[in-house]
Amino acid sequence: MRRLSLLAAGLALILGAVEIGAVTAIPAAADTTLCDQYGSTAIQSGAYIVQNNRWGTSATQCIGVSSTGFRIVQEDGVAATNGAPTGYPSVYRGCHYGNCTAGFSPVAANSAKFAGIGTSVSMRYPAGGNWDASYDIWFDPTARTNGQNTGAEIMVWLNHSGLPQPVGSRVGTVSLAGGTWDVWEGNIGWNVVSYVRTAGTGSMSFPVSTFYKDAIGRGYASNSWYLTSIQAGFEPWSGGTGLAVTNFAVTTGRTPPPKTASPTTAPPTIARPIRAASCTARLRVTQAWNGGFTADMTVRNTGTVATRAWRVSWTWPSGQAAINIWNANGTTSGSTQLATDAGYNGALAAAATTTFGFQATGNSTTPTATCTAS
């Protein structure tokens, strides 16, 4: 579940030096313990900030800070697993409500600098409890350093325990960064795309663009937005004592210099067509009665590559609305109806089809549907 205040990400730059600048968090001493609700401290000469970030409970939460991360040493809060967690203790590189790490400024997602940003983390987990261990990577339409981001929140769940689930609904499965992930999408004033690893892990390393490109392809993010922070930590609902980030890094590589032109004329580059996923959707009324009807929608892959996921949208005439959808996840906004694959039927080979159905109110109709695939 999601909230207004979260944070995490640390940073160690390789192939490029960490820039030094002003940091509002106080420097950490050895064995620093933070129990204040939003207490924070800088580590590694301000390259990272560790924060307690307890916002979902008034019960005590304390974290022990090391030079490379932190550990939850006391977590007394208990939150219902169908709601928000007790907080998001974390370590981060970037800006969180004006509290910025040394030398950081937001990075445009369409820049060469963003393409070179990677991150890695190692974590330890206690037995039992209700929690997730996750990255929280934030993007905003502007180069924001303060306040709530309004673009996209990319969550990467390395592991989880108990009953908690991400924001929104599960829309598919994807293979990225050496693992298989269930993908969840939702909106809570900003877009939230969560990638939940189907087999939990205690460490991983990946380019930040890996997950962001996938979110762009799903229509939940934009290449023109700015990366504002990379965070890693935990969302505990209960039993979080012992959760620990043992190491965290964000790396950036230098853009290679342009090559000197060769005296020999190189052969011309031949443009090759990009094979893009595409689909169509066609509605068929299956039964009608006074004041309602049922219908099937057939989705067909019209591209030359297999789809990973699809979404279908259409506009209802006045007085009509879907009241039940099966074999798809449905959302309604005004007269606009959206249906996304149910996960198990998102992957379609070239020319393959799948069908979902729904029950609607009003007189039977066959609106024109638009289908997009990734």
Domains of the chain: 26-252 (2.60.120.180), 279-373 (2.60.40.290)
Highest mean pLDDT among 70-84, 282-296, 324-338, 353-367: 70-84
The predicted structure's pLDDT at residue 265: 47
Beta strands in 76-225 (DSSP E): 90-96, 99-100, 107-108, 117-124, 130-140, 152-161, 169-176, 179-187, 191-197, 203-207
pLDDT tens profile 246-292:
999 999 854 444 444 444 444 454 444 445 688 999 999 888 888 88
Q: Is pLDDT at 7 greater than 80 in this prediction?
A: no
Residue range 235-250: mean pLDDT, rounded: 96
pLDDT tens profile 294-324:
888 999 998 888 888 888 998 988 888 888 8
The predicted structure's pLDDT at residue 27: 53
**CA neighbor of 177 nearest in space, from 149, 198, 192:** 198
pLDDT tens profile 81-95:
999 999 999 999 999
Q: What is the percentage of the chain residues whose pLDDT exceeds 70? A: 85
Average pLDDT of the chain?
A: 85
**Residue 241 — very low, low, confident or very high, per pLDDT cuts 50/70/90?**
very high
CB 80 within 8 A of CB 73: no
Residue range 225-250: mean pLDDT, rounded: 97
pLDDT tens profile 105-128:
999 999 999 999 999 999 999 999
Any catalytic annotation for residue 185? no
**Residue 31 — very low, low, confident or very high, per pLDDT cuts 50/70/90?**
low
pLDDT tens profile 136-177:
999 999 999 999 999 999 999 999 999 999 999 999 999 999
Residue with tokens 């992957």: 347
- Write the CA distances from 91 to 15, 174, 234, 357, integer angstroms: 22, 27, 10, 45
Distance CA 182, CA 156 (A): 10
**Residue among 19, 75, 153, 185 flagged as catalytic:** 153
The predicted structure's pLDDT at residue 28: 53
Any catalytic annotation for residue 75? no
